[in-house]
């Protein structure tokens, strides 16, 4: 293309491949300007309890941005968790990624481990899992699996595809169970894995690839 005089940099036709450029230069190929796209970065944060998902301090409560390096201060989060919940939060420099993750139409599964206290009625839980209305709010169907129980304390794995505010607590409140612990272990292809509370890690290439492939399939 250079030999055919098709490349122009800052208004000058390039005659030799020995030409250094950076993202601030204007580069044209066949009169079409080349645009540089920023590299999308996706991070995984283990949010501890007693932190709120907010970019700005609202009161004396701690926020998740106090846990991360200043170079990530402009990143936005997907997958809000309340102050009493812990687990996976996604941080990214792309608003499109957060929109894709949070849009129910894209059907990204969120998986939680929940400890509830009280007398668990499996029949009622099964009925709720098909979808229900509670306090004039409709909750969609969900998947569940009993992990174990000791003295009225039951661990349940829960898969959601919507993500309404306080959805899990409302699910169990509707069958007279109190949520004592709530931990998100995955969000779509992104997994908490071996992260400890307050730790942050870069999403793996495999996780990002799964995310991108899922979006391509959904948006066809």
The whole-number pLDDT of residue 53 equals: 95
Distance CA 88, CA 111 (A): 10
Exposure on the CB side of residue 130, measured as CA atoms within 13 A = 5
Residues catalogued as catalytic: 82
Residue closest to 75 by CA, chosen among 114, 106, 117, 44: 44
18 Cβ neighbours under 8 A, 6+ residues apart: none
Residue closest to 215 by CA, chosen among 188, 181, 179, 187: 188
| pTM, full prediction | 0.82
How many CB atoms are located within 10 Å of the residue 190 CB? 24
Distance CA 166, CA 156 (A): 16
Domains, the chain, ranges and CATH?
Answer: 1-36 (3.10.290.10), 38-104+193-220 (3.30.70.580), 109-187 (3.30.2350.10)
**Helices 205-218 and 95-102, axial angle in degrees (round to 10):** 60
Question: What pLDDT tens digit does each residue of the chain (220 aa) get?
Answer: 999 999 999 999 999 989 888 878 899 999 898 887 778 999 999 999 999 999 999 899 999 999 999 999 999 999 899 999 999 999 999 999 999 999 999 999 999 999 999 999 999 999 999 999 999 999 999 999 999 999 899 999 999 998 888 999 999 999 999 999 999 999 999 999 999 999 999 999 999 999 999 998 887 7
Residue closest to 78 by CA, chosen among 61, 92, 64, 63: 92
């Amino acid at each position: 293309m250079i030999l055919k005089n098709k490349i122009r940099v800052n208004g000058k036709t390039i005659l030799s491949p020995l030409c250094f450029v950076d993202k601030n230069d204007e580069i044209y190929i066949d009169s079409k300007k080349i645009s540089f796209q920023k590299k999308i970065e996706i991070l995984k944060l283990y949010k501890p309890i007693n932190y709120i998902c907010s970019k700005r301090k609202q009161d004396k409560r701690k926020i998740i941005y106090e846990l991360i390096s200043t170079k990530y201060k402009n990143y936005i989060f997907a997958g809000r968790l309340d102050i009493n919940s812990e687990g996976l939060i996604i941080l990214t420099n792309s608003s499109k990624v957060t929109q894709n993750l949070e849009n129910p139409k894209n059907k990204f599964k969120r998986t939680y481990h929940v400890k509830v206290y009280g007398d668990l009625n499996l029949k009622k839980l099964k009925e709720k899992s098909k979808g229900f209305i509670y306090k004039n709010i409709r909750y969609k169907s969900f998947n569940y699996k009993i992990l174990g129980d000791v003295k009225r304390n039951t661990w349940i794995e829960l898969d959601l595809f919507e993500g309404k505010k306080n959805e899990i607590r409302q699910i169990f409140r509707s069958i007279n169970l109190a949520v004592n612990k709530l931990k998100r272990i995955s969000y779509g292809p992104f997994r908490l894995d071996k992260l400890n509370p307050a730790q942050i890690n870069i999403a793996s290439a495999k996780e990002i690839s799964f995310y991108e492939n899922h979006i391509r399939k959904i948006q066809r």
